[in-house]
Amino acid sequence: MNNVLQRNSNYYYVVVAVLASLSVLNTYSNSHGLYFGNISLLIGVLFFLLAIINLLLKGIDSKDIIFVGVILLVWTITKFNSFLSVPILVALAFINCTPWQVIKGYYLANMVCLVVTFLLSLVGLSPMRNVVDGVISFGFANENTLGLFTLLISLFYVLELFTLKRETRYFYEKIIFIVFFILLNYFITGDRTVIIVFLFFILFIGIFKLKNKFFTFIIKFLGTVCPILLTYTSYLFSKNYDNSNFYYLLNNLLSNRMYMWNWYYHRIPISWYPSYLKIDQFNFWGTIDGSYAYLIFQSGLVTTLVACLLLVYCNFLLLKNNENYIFCLLISLEIGALSEDILQSPAIVLVMTFAILTLYPRWIRDSKHKKNL
């Protein structure tokens, strides 16, 4: 048994190392405007090989065959849309891990990336500030990406603190990091979205701990269907931006994102499958903030629908299996995805990885009988 646990532990940290490599590569390429196609392909192959090794180590059974079959079906329906590529590969590598281990794996990968990127900026190999607006970003392409990385680490620490309380290792150090995260993003980078997501997470956990039936029901219902609601909201905002002063007010609150979405709404036809017009080909914006808007304009309605249904199913299963804290974590990030690239960024695609993993038969339920590393 000890040999099996050690073998699984070694495999797990190899997956985390590859995931960290993906995070560092993606962050470095974005901050320098580069594209490392061959290296990205190599990392994808490594994830695929790790998935095969994982299946061989645990022994292939009917659940594995069903999982791979369902994934291939889903991917085929979306015409192998690249939006699902990274979460599928990471999910295949993580299928023998518990939900907690998956979250911890992303935390470790993001922490490694944060440290490496910060060190690169200190020695001058990555920009210390955003070259566009001059805001400090510590080697990341912009302050929003820095905010997302520090957000995910802080959310993991809060999850630990609520679960383990004072038994958490490095208790005070983690409290200090959370305070640093809030001060950095509120006073220095001005990233309001990550602060709001963090506060939503605290609020949702607080509601579950209070055990108020009415508010708990509201959170469970709205949280489960929020991907669909937020996708439709993104569409309405994109379409109606210039219809009333109310939308102009919302646009200011969302830092001009509605104006951005409306700009694309008039230039990229909404289609069933990915548009032949690529967002990065447009000189004015060249990007889009907001995962749901990105799905609608770039990935097409079929992939948008598939992604939303996967997220709803994932949220439902988490509640069904009483994984309330993880549910709170995911829906907080799903809410943040309204205005940030949380669902599609290769380095922080935790939410979509969970959505894919819930297709594995009884993954969440059976995980309760597995030991964490």
Domain ranges of the chain: 2-367
CB-based contacts of 146, cutoff 8 Å, min separation 6: 137, 138, 140, 184, 189, 191
Confidence at residue 131, expressed as pLDDT on a 0 to 100 scale: 81
Please determine, for residue 343, whether its predicted confidence score (pLDDT) is greater than 90: yes
Q: How confident is the model at residue 287 (pLDDT cuts 50, 70, 90)?
A: confident
The shares of helix, strand and coil residues in the chain, as percent rounded to the nearest 5, are 75, 0, 25
Please determine, for residue 350, whether its predicted confidence score (pLDDT) is greater than 50: yes
3 state DSSP class of 136: strand
Sequence letter at residue 89: L
- The CA distances from residue 341 to 86, 147, 175, 334, in Å, are 14, 12, 26, 10
Cβ atoms 293, 234 nearer than 8 A: yes
The DSSP-derived string for 83-132 is GGHHHHHHHHHHTTS-HHHHHHHHHHHHHHHHHHHHHHHHTTSS-SB-TT
How far is it, in rounded angstroms, from Cα 74 to Cα 358? 13
Residue written as tokens 């802080």?
A: 154
Confidence at residue 176, expressed as pLDDT on a 0 to 100 scale: 96
Please determine, for residue 160, whether its predicted confidence score (pLDDT) is greater than 70: yes
Residue 185 structure tokens: 């993003």
Report CA 10 to chain centroid distance, whole Å: 25
156 closest CA partner among 145, 143, 169, 144 = 169
Please determine, for residue 118, whether its predicted confidence score (pLDDT) is greater than 90: yes
89 closest CA partner among 321, 318, 349, 276 = 349
Average pLDDT over residues 243-248: 82
Please report the beta strands in the chain, taking only residues with DSSP state E, as ranges in sequence order: none
Widest Cα–Cα separation across the chain = 65
Q: Cβ of 312: how many Cβ atoms within 10 Å?
A: 18
Q: How confident is the model at residue 7 (pLDDT cuts 50, 70, 90)?
A: low
Confidence at residue 368, expressed as pLDDT on a 0 to 100 scale: 63
Average pLDDT over residues 231-247: 89
Cβ atoms 307, 336 nearer than 8 A: no
Average pLDDT over residues 348-363: 92
Tens of pLDDT, residues 201-213: 999 999 999 988 9
Residue 232 structure tokens: 């439709």
Q: Which residues pair with 318 in a beta bridge?
A: none
Confidence at residue 372, expressed as pLDDT on a 0 to 100 scale: 55
Confidence at residue 57, expressed as pLDDT on a 0 to 100 scale: 76
Average pLDDT over residues 308-325: 96
367 or 16: which carries more pLDDT confidence?
16
50 closest CA partner among 91, 81, 105, 99 = 91
% of the chain beyond a pLDDT of 90: 63
Residue written as tokens 């017009």?
A: 277
Least reliable range by pLDDT among 6-15, 60-69, 263-272, 292-301:
6-15
Confidence at residue 250, expressed as pLDDT on a 0 to 100 scale: 86
Range picked from 1-15, 199-213, 243-257 for highest mean pLDDT: 199-213
Mean pLDDT, the chain, rounded, equals: 90
Average pLDDT over residues 321-346: 93
How far is it, in rounded angstroms, from Cα 47 to Cα 53? 10
Confidence at residue 373, expressed as pLDDT on a 0 to 100 scale: 47
Tens of pLDDT, residues 48-96: 898 888 888 778 888 889 999 999 999 999 999 989 999 999 999 998 8
Confidence at residue 255, expressed as pLDDT on a 0 to 100 scale: 83
3 state DSSP class of 202: helix
Q: How confident is the model at residue 1 (pLDDT cuts 50, 70, 90)?
A: very low
Q: Give phi and psi for 323, each to the nearest 5.
A: -90, 65
Confidence at residue 5, expressed as pLDDT on a 0 to 100 scale: 47
Confidence at residue 6, expressed as pLDDT on a 0 to 100 scale: 52
- The CA distances from residue 11 to 53, 59, 358, in Å, are 9, 15, 21
70 closest CA partner among 95, 49, 53 = 95
